Amino acid sequence: KVNLALVLLGVIVLIAGGLWLWNVFRGRVRVPRSSFAPPMVYSPPDDLPPALVGLLTKNAVGANELVATIFDLAQKRVIAIAQAERKKFFFSSKDVMLSRSSGITKHSFERLVADALASENGTWLSEQRGRLPELLRDFSSRVEQESVRQGLFQEEPSKSKGRLSKPGLFMLFVTPFVGIPLVLWLFERAEMIFVPFVSVLLVGLATIILSSKMPSVTEVGATQAGLWKGFGRYLKKMVKDKSLAVDNVSYWDSYFPYAVIFGLSKGWVTTFEGLGANAPAWFHVGAADSGADLPVADWQRRYGLGRCKAGWIDRTRCWLPVGLGGYVPGDNQRWTGGCDIAFAEEEGGQGCYSLWSFSGSSCNNNITVGQ
């Protein structure tokens, strides 16, 4: 009789847990089926930032959304990205420098990323590793808040998930501490003593699994999610279909932040690199001891410089030509080197860019600029 009662108790726990989960999900606002989009969308549905796209399509904000936001900010000219080799003693390693540019951020989570990871004089990404976990938490919170402001979710998804995940975690962690001692103590008298505890564990596990489905989107959010999932399927097809990729070579860099969101970054780069696609105008590769060497042609095009015949841009310093009445920032001295220097963005102050080449105390005459 005791064992039968324990089995019945286990069944009751499962039924009660199922009814509780059903009641929780019943409280969510149902979205009409008409809100969902066709299976394939051939261009970005709108200008929704990649981070919000990731939240809509996956109900979560993670590292992919943060990385995609960095690339999106570079695409919008808010920051500049430069990959370079840094030498330390006898060793060298690749690193990425993020520098503030002239673009303007629109959302608070974009400002957070730009302010935390980039600076006017350039910031090495490797030096920010210790701050990334905290940044990701703040970033996730702001993205969720923005999703509610834009009417995509009824409330912040993490709060919706918490209604299920917290009770589920409580069941999974507390039940073994209570159940194992009781099973060991009473097993000889009641072999089925473990059944109710197993039922509680199953309910807790189901609760955690289903918590990812808990965020309640609005009708607008459901429509947007359907459209962006369709665009994601189109991007996945593009990675596999070479002819389709050829037709979209001119869009590959503007679609890249969204490719990151859908987990396609590696295949995306490989596909378009094989097609001879040009590197994005916002990404620069070079080798430098203390700064990134950036091709002049890219910066000439972006910042309206004169015609540059040769040379590099180094983001570690900012020089102004004498002709503009500029001073060397920090030194308060006029530029007197032997090279022609091109002023790139703003006269004086921080954040200006320049074309220069400097070795020791002399300036190498390998830059020719015609304004």
49-83 tens-digit pLDDT = 999 999 999 988 999 999 999 999 999 989 888 87
pLDDT score of 343: 33
The full set of domain ranges for the chain reads 2-29+156-211, 31-149+216-291, 292-370
pLDDT score of 161: 86
- Distance (Å, whole) CA 122 – CA 96: 10
Decide: 350 and 329 in contact? Cβ < 8 Å: yes
Cβ contacts of 250 within 8 Å, gap of 6 or more: none
- Distance (Å, whole) CA 362 – CA 177: 72
Helices (H) and strands (E) in the chain, counts: 12, 10
pLDDT score of 200: 94
- Distance (Å, whole) CA 316 – CA 353: 9
Decide: 55 and 212 in contact? Cβ < 8 Å: no
pLDDT score of 350: 34
pLDDT score of 91: 66
pLDDT score of 24: 84
Tell me the pLDDT band of 28, cut-offs 50, 70 and 90: low
Amino acid at 58: K
- Does an H or E element contain 312, and which? strand 312-314
pLDDT score of 31: 57
* Stronger pLDDT, 353 or 178, i.e. the higher one: 178
Per-residue model confidence as pLDDT tens digits over 282-320:
776 654 333 333 333 333 333 333 322 223 333 333 333
pTM above 0.75, yes or no: no
Chain centroid offset of residue 29 CA: 29
> Which residues are bridge partners to 96 per DSSP?
83
* Stronger pLDDT, 236 or 353, i.e. the higher one: 236
